[in-house]
Chains A and B, each alone.
Chain A
Amino acid sequence: NAGVTQTPKFQVLKTGQSMTLQCAQDMNHEYMSWYRQDPGMGLRLIHYSVGAGITDQGEVPNGYNVSRSTTEDFPLRLLSAAPSQTSVYFCASSSAGKGYEQYFGPGTRLTVT
């Protein structure tokens, strides 16, 4: 199993540009989440999904959209990038059958200039 994969690893955007961060998992986990990590702030939840077709907002959802058309994929869209969205983004998946242990992807480091 590849686990949780994320692409790209690094990205530089200009203010106002849009892009999609990709996340995929091959463990058939029902739950998937997106977090952002900023220095001294820990990890903050952006959006999460409890299954295909079902998503909900986390602590910091503004400026981001998600969709979950399949169990495997959970892309995160930045609609109009802002410098405040410069961060490291982690995708994670979990399953009730695994005690909700979160499996994290390797992360995407995003810089918005």
Chain B
Amino acid sequence: GQQVMQIPQYQHVQEGEDFTTYCNSSTTLSNIQWYKQRPGGHPVFLIQLVKSGEVKKQKRLTFQFGEAKKNSSLHITATQTTDVGTYFCAEANSGYALNFGKGTSLLVTP
């Protein structure tokens, strides 16, 4: 399947700093889903974006879908230690089988 590229691979921040991870594709994405995986856990769904230019917020998390539907971002404002984990973007091919990026691992130091 087409590659969904995710950067950076790792990010280490001090608690209270902001964090952003980016998801890029060379072709138009039909949709983008974001998941969070805590260390030792399983991926948990955060949100799905479908429309060009869409912006959604969940408390300190802001998700954006690019105008050309070739990129997406997840921004966390004022990180907390509970934000530690790996964040994945994924395109839902045909809706039900996901093509994942390789993830961004976030470490937050108190």
Contacts and interface: CB of A to CB of B under 8 A. Distances in A.
B43 A101 contact: no
A99 B97 contact: no
Given A102-B43, A104-B42, A45 B99 contact: yes
A91 to B, nearest CB: 10
Contacts of B35: 102
B44 interface: yes
Interface stretch (A14-22, A36-44, A64-72): A36-44
Contact of B97 (A58, A104, A106): A58
B88 A104 contact: no
A103 B33 CA distance: 12
A103 B96 CA distance: 11
B99 A102 contact: no
A101 B48 contact: yes
Interface in A75-113: 90, 92, 94, 96, 99-107
Nearest to A91: B42
B42 A43 contact: no
A33 interface: yes
Interface residues of A, number: 26
B98 A40 contact: no
Given A104-B42, A106-B42, A42 B102 contact: yes
A44 B103 CA distance: 12
Contacts of A94: 95-96
Contacts of B41: 106
A94 B45 CA distance: 11
A43 B88 contact: yes
B1 interface: yes
Interface string B70-110: 00000000000000000010101001111111110000000
Interface in B1-31: 1, 6, 9
A105 to B, nearest CB: 7
Interface of B: 1, 6, 9, 33, 35, 41-45, 48, 88, 90, 92, 95-103
